[in-house]
Chains A and B, each alone.
Chain A
Amino acid sequence: MVSLVLIILTSLFFTGIVVRTKSIASGRKGPGIFQPMKDIIRLWKKGSVYSTTTSFIFQIAPSIYIASVLMAILMIPHGNHPGIISFEGDFVMFAYVLALGKFLMIISALDTGSSFEGMGASREALYSMLVEPAFFILIGSFALFTGQTSFHGIFSSLHYGSHISYMLGGLATFVFIFIAMIENSRMPVDDPKTHLELTMVHEVMILDNSGFDLGLIMYTTHLKFAMYGAIISNFFIGVLPLEISIPLFFAVQICFAVVVGIIESFIARFRLGHNPQFIFILTSVSLLIFFGVLLVLGKFI
């Protein structure tokens, strides 16, 4: 319950901070941190234009997309407080429920019959496929490390004993930041601010969405950012009491947003052909974490 409220609160201003950071980095003042949210509310008030090619898939996909992310958020714990849904192996459902939302978004892009949107859909399917192993190896390593098989179990019993385990936490944060960047189609992989349809990934998939549905999709992106931020914050919170952990949570989220903004300001988007290689790096870093865990547990003789 705690984490749900916190994540929804964070989702209101997260992207605002990212935009603000980018503005400051490029020497502008930039809009207020609630501006992205205001844009979404404006979208929710608008009417829509639907393509004549589309079918019911196009109508239900955004709703399933946000439902899947909400479902995933329900599973995120806050330090010692489990999420509303918490069971053994919940992270498997977490990953698969998110994949369901993506599945629907991909086919809704294909539903428009546009060549641009098919292109985006193909890229999205490929990149999210490449991310999956990284996530599972990472979570598997922590399951091995703590002997627990749920988000709550892992995060509440994560204690840093040796130097190596600090390194593991750091690497895990790194991997999660980049997973979040890829899943949200942000900078090194995709440029949300680009104006050329041929080079977009996520933006080109939703070219034909408008009005309320577009607002839903954009808000889902904010929720997703806040959700990954919450996972990252869990690496730092541990079993601290609420009065310390809640400020810490926001601090971590804000740091995360600033880091995202800085990455977006100073790294150029990769060539599309190089993206798979970049995403594979995450898998290898996850493997590094795994070997670190083996080292800590003394499995190497």
Chain B
Amino acid sequence: MEITQITSWTAIVLIAGIAGIMVVRDKLKSITALSVVLINAVLTSIPAILALTVAPQTGSFAMPHLLSNIVVRIDSLSAWFILIINFTSINGALYGNGYMKAYSELKTNREIHWIFYVIFHISMVWVCMFENGLAFIISWELMSLSSLMLVIFEFQKKNTLKAGINYMVQMHLSVIFLTIGFIWLNIKTGSFDFSALSQLPLAKHSVWIFILLFFGFAIKAGFIPFHTWLPHAHPAAPSHVSGVMSGVIVKLGIYGIFRIIMNLRYDWLLFGEIVLSLSVLTAVYGIANAAVKRDFKGMLAFCTIENIGIIGIGIGLGLMGIGSDNQILAVLGFSGALLHTFNHSLFKSLLFFGAGSVYQQTHTRNIEHLGGLIKKMPQTAALFLVGAIAIGGLPPFNGFISEFIIYSGLFKGLSGFPGISQVVLLILTIAGLALIGGISVLTFTKTFGVIFLGNPRTRLHHEPAETPFIMLLPQYLIVAAMLSVAFFPQFYFNYASKIVASSFHLGNNPLDESPIADNLKYIGLISMVFIGIFILVFGLRWLIVRKRTAILYETWGCGYVAPVVKAQYTGRSFARQFGSLFDFIVRIRKNHKKTQKTELYPEKRTFSTYYSDILEKYVIIPLARRSTFLLNYFQFIQNGQIQSYVIYGLFFIMLIFLGTVLKIIT
């Protein structure tokens, strides 16, 4: 099948699917949605696999009345992202099938939810397929709007709606940047295609097109200071949606950044240094905030920001490699970024699914109210633990592989640059990455420990229990994929490096002589050896211990024999010292009334603390306030009367009519 046919088929399946979801009985809606996602995923995965293994798939829709044909093109880069999207979306739909059962009373909400889920999935795939800027922006907008509808699933809640509006505004800022960028591009080159970026004349002002597009994509990806939508949108959305959003939608910002930098023709080194510095700051900022968060979904959202930073470090390194003609560095940086994109989509959706199961069983997102869940939900706990270890980049899981590739690029780069400024930047990046790794160990030991271990901290409304199999199945699938990356990294790395070589025109794959791929194969082997050593030690221990006496007793409380559940270490106290050390990033606020001197009989009072996102509080919100001050003068336009809105429409039609008559618009 031609690629254009496939594109049309996806649209047909989509429309049929929407109609289907509307028609079928309430119980079958989720299954219908799942099958639509499956069909579309299979349809688009075939050309993607072909593009990855054989050759790019290209086709074009003839659009005579538009300025140009709409080129549909799946090259290896799009193929990589399409496969990630499909895998994560199928898992999300599977999980959602189980998760949505809890909301059986919200029938309309669920119907809308599933309709927008299928639109959401295919629009993301379309984003990766269209070469033409206009078609790209339309799919992009479709994706943003459908994901907005998914985020505000529980729109009856005020906070959810607020998060949704925040998300919508920020996504449209991104679209504005992209639209201006593409229009500018069209004016300069006469084409809306991404590839036209490479034909831009070498002049000062064409840098601004790249910067505009970069801003547009950076908002989606969540680089600081554009990250503020993430910590609001992710906790508000249902968990499978946050899993897919964090796993994929954020990555499409990365996809866009890849698309523009592969057409960059100059100033590689400068761009690389900027992206690298921004990414390190993003990662440190993200993980430091994650470490002190008590809302576990908010924590995962900040952790997404951290991982975007790590991916960005790879991209920046790759750009620096191209800028200095160091091809190995370019391949290591970019393929590390691509692989981390894939890895993060796996473990982040796994963690969000686990978090969703916890939320569904306990109806709280505050970790301080939880505890001891490992006994009630052992499978969820074990799966969450795997995700937590992997996301910290610890072996023997997949997170280590991509971080290792980026690390080896950074170490190789140390001796590859003549200038002192690059070397210092790289060593600071290495130190930053090490610090990030350390903080993420702290974050995830805290989260896992407080949610799943110890004793329950509060009495819950009902006894939590293990989730049904349909919610566990996608998590097992993800773990299987994660282990395949961990044990056979060379397989994935080979594709990633091929993508880099073909996207950045590196000629022959420069890694043919380099030992990196062999090295990775070896690391996969070592991961297995490590598990072998563990099994050996544990087996030995089992053999010895089973003959010995084992007594069960209370936890040692220094002689105090009536353990108090409340005395357990809380998440806040676990991260307190870290918080005070990093108080330039994570500001703590305390809400309490001081006792007055004259108050002989102190009244009952409450004390609460919370951490605020300083960039949001001191940069974004004041900026938004300032701009609303100006924009308030235009409020008369939005007066709530349909009549005047009709007049606006007429006015613009007249304007365009006059424009064409007077030959202002051609």
List residues of chain A with CB under 8 Å of any chain B CB.
44, 46-55, 57, 60, 62-64, 66-68, 70-71, 85, 87-89, 92-93, 95-97, 99-100, 102-103, 106-107, 110-119, 121-123, 125-126, 128-133, 135-137, 140-141, 143-144, 147, 149, 197, 207-208, 211-213, 216, 276, 283, 290, 294, 299-301
Contacts and interface: CB of A to CB of B under 8 A. Distances in A.
Given A48-B551, A113-B372, A88 B395 contact: no
B545 A144 contact: no
A117 B551 CA distance: 20
A69 to B, nearest CB: 10
A222 B412 CA distance: 34
Contacts of A55: 374-375, 378, 381, 453
23 contacts: A48-B548, A50-B553, A52-B555, A57-B374, A60-B538, A67-B534, A85-B529, A93-B404, A93-B526, A103-B389, A106-B445, A110-B445, A110-B448, A110-B449, A110-B453, A112-B556, A122-B574, A126-B581, A130-B438, A137-B430, A147-B415, A299-B420, A299-B423
A125 B550 CA distance: 30
B551 A96 contact: no
A63 to B, nearest CB: 4
A135 B438 CA distance: 12
Given A88-B408, A115-B569, A140-B414, 16 more contacts: A46-B548, A50-B550, A53-B555, A85-B526, A92-B404, A110-B448, A119-B569, A122-B577, A129-B438, A130-B438, A140-B427, A140-B431, A143-B414, A144-B423, A144-B427, A290-B427
A82 to B, nearest CB: 13
Contact of B431 (A53, A133, A216): A133
Interface string B425-449: 0110011111101110110111011
A195 to B, nearest CB: 11
A116 B558 CA distance: 9
Contacts of A87: 519, 522-523
A276 to B, nearest CB: 5
B392 A99 contact: yes
A300 B424 CA distance: 11
Nearest to B414: A144
A261 B395 CA distance: 34
A60 B541 CA distance: 10
B602 interface: no
B552 interface: yes
B349 to A, nearest CB: 21
A67 B550 CA distance: 23
A121 B574 contact: yes
A128 B438 contact: yes
A141 B410 CA distance: 12
Contacts of B381: 55
Interface in B161-198: none
A77 B378 CA distance: 41
Contacts of A301: 420
Which size class do B's interface residues fall under?
35 or more
A113 B438 contact: no
B609 interface: no
A60 B581 CA distance: 32
Contacts of A96: 393-395, 400, 403-404, 437
B460 interface: no
B450 interface: yes
Q: Which of A44, A110, A113 has the most CB atoms of chain B within a 10 A radius of its CB?
A: A113
A129 B439 contact: yes
A96 to B, nearest CB: 5
Contacts of A100: 389, 394-395
B538 A132 contact: no
B568 A114 contact: yes
A107 B449 contact: yes
A70 B551 contact: no
Contacts of A122: 446, 569, 573-577
B574 A118 contact: yes
B126 interface: no
Given A93-B523, A96-B395, A118 B569 contact: yes
Contacts of A53: 372, 454-455, 554-555
B515 interface: yes
Contacts of B392: 99, 103
Interface string B381-406: 10001000100111100001001100
Nearest to A294: B420
Contact of B515 (A88, A123, A129, A132): A88
Nearest to A290: B427
A147 to B, nearest CB: 5
Closest 7 CB pairs of A and B: A118-B569, A129-B438, A110-B449, A113-B454, A47-B549, A136-B434, A132-B434
Q: Could you tell me the dominant secondary structure of chain A's interface residues?
A: helix
B449 A114 contact: no
B567 interface: yes
A92 B520 CA distance: 13
B71 to A, nearest CB: 40
B395 A50 contact: no
B578 interface: yes
B474 interface: no
Nearest to B455: A113
A46 B449 CA distance: 28
A48 B430 CA distance: 43
B651 interface: no
Contacts of A130: 438
A137 B427 contact: yes
A133 to B, nearest CB: 4
B367 to A, nearest CB: 12
B449 A89 contact: no
Contacts of A116: 558
Contacts of B574: 118, 121-122, 125
Contacts of A63: 534, 537-538, 541
B415 A106 contact: no
A113 B555 contact: yes
B655 interface: no
B395 A97 contact: yes
B258 interface: no
B411 interface: yes
B556 A208 contact: yes
B285 interface: no
Contacts of B415: 143-144, 147
Interface in B438-497: 438-439, 441-442, 444-446, 448-450, 453-455
B434 A95 contact: yes
A126 B442 contact: yes
A89 B537 CA distance: 26
A129 B435 contact: yes
A70 B573 contact: no
A88 B409 CA distance: 11
A268 to B, nearest CB: 21
A9 B577 CA distance: 38
Contact of A67 (B372, B423, B533): B533
B534 A99 contact: no
Given A103-B389, A144-B423, A52 B552 contact: yes
B553 A51 contact: yes
Contact of A112 (B412, B427, B442, B454): B454
A48 B549 CA distance: 6
A106 B449 contact: yes
A301 to B, nearest CB: 8
Nearest to A216: B541
A55 B454 CA distance: 9
A301 B575 CA distance: 44
B526 A99 contact: no
Contacts of B385: 57, 107
Contacts of A50: 550-553
Contacts of A106: 441, 445, 449
Nearest to B522: A87
B544 interface: yes
B557 interface: yes
